[in-house]
Amino acid sequence: MSPVRKIGVLTGGGDAPGLNAVIRAVVKAACNAGIEVVGLEDSFDGLLDPSRTRRLTPRDVTGILRLGGTILGTTNRGNPFEYPLDGPTGKIDYSERCIETFGQMQLDALVVIGGDGTLNIAHQFYLKGIPLVGVPKTIDNDIWGTTSCFGFDTAVSFAADAIDRLHSTAEAHRRIMVVEVMGRYAGWIALHGGIAGGADVILIPEIPYDFDIVVERLRAREAFGAKFSVVVVAEGAKPIGGKVTLLAEARAGVVERLGGAGALVARELEHRTGKESRYVVLGHLQRGGTPTAFDRVLATRFGGKAVELLTRGDFGTMVANNPPDLVPIPLADVVGKTKTVPLDYDLLTTARAIGVAFGD
Ligand code: F6P
């Protein structure tokens, strides 16, 4: 019999389609194993205040499989080890208070569903004695140690659909259409979405680009008879020797906000080619709405595996997808790292073989 009788579950960081599917699987698997589940609201904030918690039963999670967002709420300003103070004095550490609440609520363990920032906080709590298991979440697909994260497939499908639609208007107007996608410092969404949507040029953070080479590619297309082009730009892409474009600098407790790469590329390409260019930023549309079937399945597997690991006492780990299996890997091996697109990734090689340009 597992010593785990009561667990808490929380979702942290930016939302990703499939969060509710994980919560549902955790609740159903745990309750079926005789474990009580408490939902903590708004990431670790729910551990600061017991009034922001609620018991979750299978009845509470009925019908949420296909819902976007998270029924528990989330925040990416919620690091209890360093809550930003409004004044100039910096930060305050509320982690001990969270640990007290964990004890008062008689929780035995936590399931922490989140991206790199949230998993980092989870690891710090684990080092302070809280038994827990992490579940990787991000549309960016950049979490170290897992081949995939739920949310990524939904984001890629959305991007591919948007690129499909942009093709016809690009062709009708004989324009260059630039599409900016999310992904932070990794080009997974741009590469997969761009290939699925048939983009001509894909600019990713891992390969700084040269405008002259991009223009050369667009001219070669014209010489070949093509009257329009579609360029996908990852928000973290930058020209050789240049910097990423930011919408806002980092400030206390908040990471820098990327954005503007698409506008920059469209402006420069119009200037250099003389062809009309337009840009579209897909933004948070990539994170909203219902998860794809693939993400629902992956999220359900992650939730079920997390409960299995808790009952086995495999704490301080993250569920990782290592096809065909889900395996536990130590959080210590995951945190502080980013899984970027490897330059020898076979999809990159194939993309180049079929004539997609990366501006290098
Ligand atoms: O990490 C997921 C992500 O959607 C990134 O792709 C993007 O840069 C960032 O979050 C946007 O964050 P926010 O929701 O704070 O605007």
Give the CATH number, domain containing residue 107.
Answer: 3.40.50.450
Q: Is residue 44 in some structural domain?
A: yes
Ranges of the chain with pLDDT below 50: none
Question: Which residue has the least CA distance to atom 10 on ligand 1?
Answer: 14
Q: State whether the beta carbon of 357 lies less than 6 angstroms from ligand 1.
A: no
> In total, how many domains does the chain have?
2
Extract the tokens encoding 43: 């990431």
Q: State whether the beta carbon of 182 lies less than 6 angstroms from ligand 1.
A: yes
CB atoms within 10 A of CB 217: 18
In this structure, are 52 and 142 located in the same domain? yes
CB under 8 Å to 133, separation ≥6 — which residues? 109, 110, 111, 112, 306, 309, 310, 314, 315, 317, 318, 319, 328
Q: Which of 120, 182, 189, 281 has the most ligand 1 atoms within 8 A of CB, as the residue to mutate?
A: 182
> Ligand 1 centre and the CA of 104: distance in Å?
34
Residue 42 a catalytic site member: no
Q: Which of 118, 141, 257, 285 has the most ligand 1 atoms within 8 A of CB, as the residue to mutate?
A: 257
Q: Which of 287, 339, 340 has the most ligand 1 atoms within 8 A of CB, as the residue to mutate?
A: 287
Q: What is the pLDDT of residue 312?
A: 97
255 CA closest ligand 1 atom index: 15
Q: State whether the beta carbon of 184 lies less than 6 angstroms from ligand 1.
A: yes
In this structure, are 86 and 192 located in the same domain? no
In this structure, are 50 and 91 located in the same domain? yes
Domain with 235, as residue range(s), is 155-288
Helices assigned H by DSSP within 244-292: 261-273
Integer Cα distance of 343 and 167 in angstroms: 28
Q: Is 294 exposed, middle or buried (0-12, 13-18, 19+ CB in 10 A)?
A: middle
In this structure, are 275 and 160 located in the same domain? yes
**Angle, in degrees to the nearest 10, between helices 293-312 and 152-173:** 160
In this structure, are 161 and 52 located in the same domain? no
Q: State whether the beta carbon of 300 lies less than 6 angstroms from ligand 1.
A: no
Q: State whether the beta carbon of 187 lies less than 6 angstroms from ligand 1.
A: no
Question: Which residue has the least CA distance to atom 13 on ligand 1?
Answer: 14
Single pTM value for the model: 0.96
Local structure of 312: helix, strand or coil: helix
In this structure, are 258 and 215 located in the same domain? yes
Q: Is residue 325 in some structural domain?
A: yes
Q: Is residue 352 in some structural domain?
A: no
> Ligand 1 centre and the CA of 112: distance in Å?
19
Give the CATH number of the domain where residue 230 resides. Answer: 3.40.50.460
- The four Cα atoms 177, 182, 187, 192 give a dihedral, to 10 degrees, of -70
Integer Cα distance of 277 and 61 in angstroms: 46
Q: Is residue 176 in some structural domain?
A: yes
In this structure, are 179 and 295 located in the same domain? no
Q: Is residue 144 in some structural domain?
A: yes
115 CA closest ligand 1 atom index: 1
25: number of CA atoms within 13 Å, CB side?
23
In this structure, are 41 and 146 located in the same domain? yes
Q: State whether the beta carbon of 139 lies less than 6 angstroms from ligand 1.
A: yes
> Ligand 1 centre and the CA of 247: distance in Å?
12
Q: Is residue 358 in some structural domain?
A: no
- Which residue among the candidates 140, 142, 153, 295 is catalytic per the annotation? 140
Q: Is residue 359 in some structural domain?
A: no
Extract the tokens encoding 95: 């982690």
In this structure, are 251 and 236 located in the same domain? yes
Q: State whether the beta carbon of 287 lies less than 6 angstroms from ligand 1.
A: yes
In this structure, are 142 and 207 located in the same domain? no
257 CA closest ligand 1 atom index: 8
In this structure, are 183 and 77 located in the same domain? no
Would you give the distance in Å from CA 183 to the centre of its chain? 7
Question: Which residue has the least CA distance to atom 14 on ligand 1?
Answer: 14
Q: Is residue 178 in some structural domain?
A: yes
